[in-house]
């Protein structure tokens, strides 16, 4: 494993030294490499972290040597990065296990923050954004094919999920929800891009986007992630408001929903979920109640980074026996890990994202819908799961934030006379 880390680290370093934005594409392409773990100088790390840190070093060397200009990032974003780092340190300070918390601070806070300049370069360029979309398409197809192979018994898939009824597969990840959390926002992003750009690009691009989005949906079904499937369904419905024949689109969605609910098995499962009889729903409800007891007792500090399982033991309800690392709700996750400051920061950032997206829609930027759908899926899926606190997801979330906020200039913007 160490030789693989050295090889990929050198590739990342040289790539970033030659062209920093290529390093951003490389990091995205290799995000699942967080599953490959090793120890360097007695410190646990992953192949992904090696790639990220060497890419950042290569990019810094590039900019110091003035081989390419440093990206002119808005001042508000620098302020947001600084505030996010301070909030992360607050989470470390609150935690009773500072060594573990510092490791999570490195993976969830520092490394995504270091990548913002690289992702900014990627987001503002139409050329590199389309290269990103190509890589995202390949990822979804590969992950879905692996999932299909696992479902058919061609590839190994870990227990206990492969023995569940219905069967659940994991792709290249450790558990089914990890697969769904990764592919769902990318599926929405590609679908939104296809919807707005299908008449402006060559046929290979538009066909690849919609085919890979279909594969992403297949992966979510094979992972049997109801949260991801419902979030993507919501994304499809919302996208109907941004097409010419809105009522036809929404009518088809209504008919599709009615047809699915007419299936006895789907109808019965829907009743179980809504009534709380479903095991997964019941576990989450009990978990949320216990977490709310924790928050009421520690509203400012929460539990601290990585410290939720330890603190939660004191507040959990007697009927909750399942061990879970996080509360499985976007608001509760952030609140317990980073305290009230982290929650306030996240809410402000999401409102800022909404404001920017409305501005992009007003300017008729064709890339705006993709960002909206990706974040709609992240937030709606995040109501029942953990869409950020994971090595790959923390980086992916920051990348999708940059892709939604900083869009390539439209033809109208390009023709503006500089003031």
Same structural domain for residues 4 and 152?
A: no
* Domain co-membership, 24 together with 89: no
Residue 278 and residue 139 share a domain: yes
Q: Does one domain contain both 300 and 333?
A: yes
Q: Could you give the residue ranges of the DSSP H alpha helices within 158-307?
A: 176-197, 203-222, 226-239, 246-261, 264-275, 279-297
End residue of a domain, out of 22, 45, 70: 70
pLDDT tens per residue, range 252-297: 888 877 787 777 766 576 676 665 566 777 788 888 999 999 999 9
| Alpha carbon separation from 235 to 56, 92, 194, 379 (Å, rounded) | 34, 35, 14, 11
Query: Over the stretch 75-85, which tens digit does the pLDDT of each residue have?
Result: 999 999 999 99
Answer yes or no: is 416 within a domain: no
Residue with tokens 């490195």: 106
54 plus 26 within the same structural domain: yes
Work out the average pLDDT over 289-306: 94
Does residue 417 fall inside a structural domain?
no
- Are 221 and 331 part of one and the same domain? yes
The residue among 70, 85, 110 that closes a domain is 70
Asked if residue 335 and residue 314 are part of one domain, the reply reads yes
**Residues 48 and 91 both lie in one domain:** no
Same domain, 65 and 78: no
Q: Check whether residue 193 and residue 215 sit in a common domain.
A: yes
pLDDT band at 49 (very low <50, low <70, confident <90, very high): very high
Q: Which of 70, 88, 112 is the last residue of a domain?
A: 70
| Same domain as 100, residue 27 | no
β partners of residue 37: 46
Q: Give the bridge partners for 45, in sequence order.
A: 38
pLDDT digits (tens, 9 = 90+) for 118-143: 999 999 999 999 999 999 999 999 99
Distances 270 to 164, 252, 266, 273, 276 between C-alpha atoms, Å? 19, 20, 6, 5, 10
Domain range for 36: 1-70
| Three-state SS letters, 329-364 | CHHHHHHHHHHHHHHHHHHHHHHHHHHHHHHHHHCC
pTM over 0.95: no
Give the number of domains in the chain.
2
Same domain as 92, residue 64:
no
């Amino acid at each position: 494993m160490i030789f693989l880390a050295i090889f990929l680290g050198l590739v990342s370093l040289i790539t970033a030294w030659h062209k920093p934005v290529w390093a951003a594409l490389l990091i995205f392409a290799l995000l699942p490499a967080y599953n490959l773990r090793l120890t360097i100088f007695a410190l646990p790390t992953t192949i992904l972290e090696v790639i990220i840190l060497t890419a950042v070093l290569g990019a810094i060397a590039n900019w110091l040597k003035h081989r390419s200009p440093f990206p002119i990032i808005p001042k508000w974003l620098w302020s947001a990065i600084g505030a996010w780092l301070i909030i992360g340190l607050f989470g470390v300070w609150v935690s009773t296990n500072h060594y573990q918390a510092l490791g999570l601070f490195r993976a969830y806070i520092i490394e995504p923050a270091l990548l913002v300049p690289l992702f900014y370069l990627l987001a503002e360029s139409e050329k590199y954004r389309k290269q990103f979309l190509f890589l995202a398409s390949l990822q979804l197809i590969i992950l879905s094919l692996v999932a299909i192979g696992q479902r058919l018994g061609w590839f190994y898939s870990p227990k206990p999920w492969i023995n569940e009824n219905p069967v659940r597969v994991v792709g290249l990840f450790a558990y089914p929800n990890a697969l769904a959390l990764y592919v769902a926002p990318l599926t929405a992003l590609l679908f939104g891009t296809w919807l707005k750009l299908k008449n402006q690009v060559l046929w290979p691009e538009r066909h690849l986007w919609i085919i890979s989005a279909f594969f992403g949906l297949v992966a979510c079904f094979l992972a049997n992630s109801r949260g991801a499937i419902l979030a993507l369904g919501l994304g499809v419905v919302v996208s109907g408001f941004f097409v010419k024949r809105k009522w036809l689109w929404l009518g088809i969605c209504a008919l599709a929903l009615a047809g699915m609910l007419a299936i006895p098995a789907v109808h019965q499962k829907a009743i179980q979920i809504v009534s709380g009889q479903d095991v997964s729903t019941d576990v989450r409800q009990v978990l949320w109640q216990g977490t709310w007891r924790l928050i009421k007792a520690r509203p400012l500090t929460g539990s601290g980074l990585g410290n939720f399982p330890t603190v939660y033991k004191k507040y959990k309800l007697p009927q909750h026996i399942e061990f879970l690392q996080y509360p499985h709700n976007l608001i509760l996750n952030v609140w317990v890990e980073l305290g009230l400051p982290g929650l306030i920061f996240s809410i402000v950032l999401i409102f800022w994202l909404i404001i920017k997206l409305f501005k992009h829609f007003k300017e008729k930027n064709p890339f705006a819908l993709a960002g909206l759908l990706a974040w709609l899926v992240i937030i709606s899926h995040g109501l029942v799961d953990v869409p950020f606190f994971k090595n790959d997801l923390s980086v992916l979330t920051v990348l999708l934030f940059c892709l939604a906020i900083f869009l390539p200039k439209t033809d109208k913007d390009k023709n503006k006379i500089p003031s």
